[in-house]
């Protein structure tokens, strides 16, 4: 059962094909936790060159998908009338445990570690079935401003 389908996700995130990497949200607890899904298919454009004959989803795109799921959590937690702008400000402790290949279904579990406006720190884990394939701590700045310096101290 989905909490959020593609149309609502697109109303929150500015990303579009081929860079929208969240297919659905299964669980949402504002200010605390989100579970999002990315279905990985052979039709993904990056598989043409990564790698021919042995397609593997690039780790940087797994992290991007994780950040997009985290952005949905931030948007739904803030309750703004307008869509905020999210800037990725950091990724720490990224670990890749197993390759992600066509046919896999990535499940992202994102938990808020710390939130002090406008910054969010989240712990993300990506699973294929029950196996952990990637984990990282993601930091983002959420604002309604379009031209903001992303300086953390």
> Is 50 one of the annotated active-site residues of the chain?
yes
Q: Is 71 exposed, middle or buried (0-12, 13-18, 19+ CB in 10 A)?
A: buried
Q: pLDDT, tens digit, for every residue of 105-146? A: 999 999 999 999 899 999 999 999 999 999 999 999 988 755
Domains identified in the chain and CATH numbers: 6-143 (3.10.129.10)
Tens of pLDDT, residue by residue over 39-53, are: 999 999 999 999 999
d(C-alpha 153, C-alpha 138), whole Å: 16
Q: What is the pLDDT of residue 81?
A: 62
Please tell me which residue in 33, 50, 115, 125 is annotated as part of the active site.
Answer: 50
* Interacting residues of 93 by C-beta distance below 8 A, sequence separation 6+: 135, 136, 137
Max CA separation in the chain (angstroms): 47
């Amino acid at each position: 059962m989905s909490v959020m389908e593609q149309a609502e996700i697109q109303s929150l995130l500015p990303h579009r094909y081929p860079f929208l990497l969240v297919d659905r949200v299964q669980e949402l607890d504002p200010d605390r936790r989100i579970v999002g899904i990315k279905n990985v298919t052979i039709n993904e454009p990056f598989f043409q060159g990564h790698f021919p004959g042995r397609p593997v989803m690039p780790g940087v795109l797994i992290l991007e998908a994780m950040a997009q799921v985290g952005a949905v959590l931030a948007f739904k937690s803030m309750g703004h009338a307008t869509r905020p702008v999210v800037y990725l400000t950091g990724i720490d402790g990224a670990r890749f445990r197993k390759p992600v290949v066509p046919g896999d279904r990535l499940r992202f579990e994102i938990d808020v570690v710390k939130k002090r406006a406008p910054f969010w720190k989240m712990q993300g884990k990506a699973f294929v079935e029950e196996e952990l394939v990637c984990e990282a701590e993601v930091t983002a700045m959420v604002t309604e401003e379009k031209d903001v310096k992303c300086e953390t101290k």
